[in-house]
Amino acid sequence: MKILKKIPEFKNEQEEAEFWRTHDSTEYLDWSKAKKTIFPNLKTTTESISLRLPSPLLARIKQLANEKDVPYQSLMKVYLSERVERDLSAHHR
């Protein structure tokens, strides 16, 4: 029987993601014992908001989204998420 390494504790999801990008999960988990799981009652965690933007800004966002071939709302979510993470990281140094 293979001896598995202990999975470390992570400070946040980003740290965990980086760990799994650089480590082989088979050294930590016995995938032969994995079971398929279905979560049929999960609720979406998004919330609708109303946001007023200057028309020229919205036009530029839509133009960028079109160039990237993604919905403009999705692009806005990515931009907001990246900025929040950056500011929180700088704040917690």
- CA dihedral (47, 76, 73, 58) positive or negative: positive
In a domain, 74, yes or no: yes
Q: Is residue 67 part of a domain?
A: yes
Q: How many structural domains compose the chain?
A: 1
Give pLDDT, residue 58.
97
State the pTM of this model: 0.51
* pLDDT by residue, tens only, the chain of 93 residues: 789 999 999 999 999 999 999 999 999 999 988 888 888 888 778 888 999 999 999 999 999 999 999 999 999 999 999 999 999 988 777
Q: How far apart are CA 19 and CA 59, in angstroms?
A: 39
Domain assignment present for 39: no
Residue 5: inside a domain? no
Which domain range does residue 68 map to? 49-93
3-state SS of the chain is: CCCCCCCCCCCCHHHHHHHHHHCCHHHCCCHHHCCCCCCCCCCCCCCCCCCCCCHHHHHHHHHHHHHHCCCHHHHHHHHHHHHHHHHHHHHCC
Structural domain contains residue 8: no
